[in-house]
Structure 1
Amino acid sequence: MIQGRSIRLFLVDGTPNGLLTAEIMNWTGRVLTSPRSKLSELVQRPECGRTGIYFLIGPDPENSLRPLIYIGESDDVGTRLKQHNRPEDKGGKDFWEKVCLVTSKDQNLTKAHVKYLESLLIQSAGQIGRCRLMNGTAHEYISLPESDRADMAFFAEQIRTVLPVLGLDFLRETARPSREPEATLATEPEVSPHFTLEVPRHGIRATSQEIDGEFYVFKGSLARGAWAGTERGYQSLYNQLCEDGVLTESNGTKIFNVDQSFNSPSAAAAVVSGRSANGRTSWKTEESGLTYGDWQDQQVSEAVREASK
């Protein structure tokens, strides 16, 4: 069973969009996030004068589904952030709108540690694929002692735990759906049954599964050949998936070339149907034919009955 974790958040200036610190119980790391507009306040913080790792985050003008990310390290994060804040023609970086830095409360992180940590996180972000990295290829740092490498692997795991709580998902590992309806994943506490969505007159049939709050449409599923709804809702998502090659032409329809995750069953249903759709009624379980909404209500009722015993 997955154990709970305590994460302490502190709004430094009392506003949700300002400086924010985050700490995990019994972890020496300290996380600080800030919008770029608050950089003058951020660099005055004591954390910025330490050795640490940092992330520059901004929108990708070529892909609305994923952010642009730059991962860096420095002996003096504040000084490095000032350099990145310069205009691009003077050596800075223009794309970022938010920064997240991670240092150690006990100040035991060394230059060798953060170089190794930077390499780990660049590799991880590239493999997960939730962002477009502005970094080049991650360097290999194998000179670090074995015990220190183990410590940095643990440190990186804590970073991957706390960042999604701050709304930064680019290091969150992607759970993959199971092709077998009765199978469960060892790394996930629960998975849903398989769902299907069919629109026979358009030759559409898609299969899906919900895991860890994300709704996955399986590779090989078919979607409508063109967007037929109004120019609102999920049209931009549909178009983006076509541009990215996730959806390609297949005999008058579109076919999913990968297992694609969505943040809701309605988003998935809209892309498959080519128009706005209610995912709670459109998706039905393969075995019983229950709608997604009915299945979810059934799960809640069963949980309430178990709790009342």
Structure 2
Amino acid sequence: MSAGKTVRLFLADGTPGGLLTAEIMNWTGHVVAAPRSDLAALLKRPDTSRTGIYILLGDDPDSVGGQMAYIGEGDDVSKRLYHHARPENQNGKDFWDRAIVLTSKDANLTKAHARYLESRFITLALQANRARLTNGTSPAPIVLPEADMSDMEYFVDQSKIVLPVLGVNIFRSPRTAVASPPDSHGGRTDSPVFEMTMKKLGISATAQEVDGEFTVFEGSHARSAWIGAAGHSYIGLRTKLEKDGTLVLSSDGGTTIFNRDHAFSSPSAAAAVVAGRPANGRLDWKVQGTRTTYGEWESEGLEEAMSQEANHE
């Protein structure tokens, strides 16, 4: 069972869409995020004048994740952000509308540390394939002393926890967990493996709910083409998956195959892509080797929980 974490958020201007900071208890890292419209306030903060990493995020309707990103580092992050805020004809970047800055509260990050972290975060973003990176290069991690490398890997691990809390999911790997038994409090830490089959078409897909996302695994099969209504909302998703190489045609052309793991927003979105038409994922996905549907699995324990609550009243 994973240990719990305390994440402390502070809304600097009292609004959820404005400048905010995030910290994890007992971690020296510090995260500050702001929309581009609040960049002036962000640049005035002392934390952004430190050595650190920054992430620029913007919309990209043509990518599966719907985002573009740039990952960089600097001795003084504020100067790098100021440079990127210029128009593109002045060597700036126009695509981004949000900036995330990661520094250390103890100011112990060095230039070498920042370069190592930049390389690691670029690699993680490429592996996760949730955003289109605009970085021109992917530098290899520089060599650090063993102790420093261990510290930086811990920094990466903690960042991967706090960033999704801020809605930054570009480093989340589609498959980060395996099925496990209930924890000591009666809850479930991870889901079983689910399967969806269409025997007449030779289609079989497997998936798992990982960290709140429904992830279809590499090697799963799907219908060769969309056959549902032309105006359905999932057509765009299916088209993007085919365009970016997540779905590739099988050797015999009878089906398409997931070329990599892919995280969906819901089991129904995953089921629709597999079936090539609208589908109810709560019914079509079943716990592998059983007839238990996703919806039945999801509801397990509810009656017991309510019974226990009634006994406490």
Q: Same fold (TM over 0.5)?
A: yes
Question: Deviation per CA, 1:189-224, whole angstroms, max 9, x where unpaired?
Answer: 744333333345655443333233222323343323
Deviation at 1:109, TM superposition (A): 2.1
What amino acid sits opposite 1:292 in the alignment?
Y
- Which residue of structure 2 aligns with residue 196 of structure 1? 195
3-state SS of 2:298 partner: helix
Where does residue 227 of structure 2 map in the other structure?
228
Which sits farther off after the overlay, 153-162 or 263-272? 153-162
Taking structure 1 as reference, are residues 72 and 176 closer, same or farther at Cα in structure 2, changes over 3 Å only?
closer
2:224 is aligned with what amino acid?
A: G
Matched, 1:62 2:95: no
Look up the equivalent residue of 1:74 and give its one-letter code: G
Post-superposition offset of 1:177:
7.3
CA distance in 1, matches of 2:242, 2:77: 39
Match of 1:271 in 2: 273
SS in 2 for 1:287: coil
Q: Give the drift of 1:72.
A: 1.1
Which AA in structure 2 matches 1:5?
K
Deviation at 1:281, TM superposition (A): 1.4
Q: Which residue number in structure 2 is paired with residue 91 of structure 1?
A: 91
1:210 corresponds in structure 2 to: 209
Q: How many residues align?
A: 301
- Unpaired runs of at least 5, structure 2: 182-187
> Is the Cα–Cα contact under 8 Å of residues 222 and 257 in structure 2 kept in the other structure?
yes
Q: Post-superposition shift, 1:137?
A: 1.9
Do the aligned partners of 2:113 and 2:152 also contact (CA within 8 Å) in 1? yes
For 2:80 and 2:226, the matched residues in 1 are separated by: 45
Pair 1:17–1:112, CA change in 2 (3 A): same
Cα distance in 1 for partners of 2:259, 2:151 equals: 38
Instruction: State the match for 1:249 in structure 2.
Output: 249
Aligned counterparts, 1:99-110, within 5 A: 99-110=99-110
Q: 2:175–2:215: 8 Å Cα contact kept in structure 1?
A: no
**For 1:70, what is the secondary structure of its paired residue?**
strand
Closer/same/farther in 2, CA of residues 199 and 147 from structure 1, 3 Å limit: closer
Shift of residue 90, structure 1, vs aligned partner: 1.0
Q: CA deviation at 1:301?
A: 4.0
Q: Percent identity?
A: 51
Secondary structure of the residue aligned to 2:169 is: coil
Residues in 2 aligned to 1:201 and 1:129: alpha-carbon distance in whole angstroms: 32
Q: Say whether the 8 Å CA contact 2:180–2:192 is kept in structure 1.
A: no
> Counterparts of 2:278 and 2:102 in 1: how far apart (Å)?
41
1:260 aligns with 262
Instruction: Tell me, in whole angstroms, the C-alpha distance in 1 between the residues paired with 2:220 and 2:301.
Output: 26
2:4 & 2:177 partners in 1: Cα distance? 24
Rounded Cα–Cα distance in structure 1 between residues aligned with 2:303 and 2:297 = 10
Aligned partners of 2:10 and 2:43: how far apart in 1? Answer: 17
Residues 73, 305 of structure 1: alpha-carbon distance in 2 compared, 3 angstrom cutoff: same
Aligned pairs (5 A) from 1:116-265: 116-135=116-135, 136-142=137-143, 144-175=144-175, 184=180, 190-200=189-199, 204-230=203-229, 231-250=231-250, 251-265=253-267
Could you list the per-position Cα deviations for residues 122-159 of structure 1 after superposition, in whole angstroms to 9, with x for gaps in the alignment?
233233333332221214322x4333332222222221
Displacement after TM superposition at 1:166 (Å):
0.6
Query: Does the Cα contact within 8 Å between 1:190 and 1:211 map onto a contact in 2?
Result: no
Q: Name the SS of the counterpart of 2:163 in structure 1.
A: helix
Q: Does 1:7 align with 2:1?
A: no
SS in 1 for 2:192: coil
What is the TM-score when the length of structure 2 is the normalising length?
0.85
Structure-2 separation of matches of 1:284 and 1:137? 40
Q: Secondary structure at the match of 2:65?
A: strand
Distance between the aligned counterparts of 1:123 and 1:101, measured in 2? 18
- Write the letter of the residue equivalent to 1:141: I
SS at match of 2:44: coil
**CA separation of 1:117 and 1:220: change in aligned 2, threshold 3 A:** closer
Per the alignment, residue 23 of structure 1 pairs with 23
Which blocks of at least 5 consecutive residues in structure 1 are unaligned? none
SS at match of 1:162: helix
Distance in 2 between residues matched to 1:176 and 1:113, nearest whole Å: 25
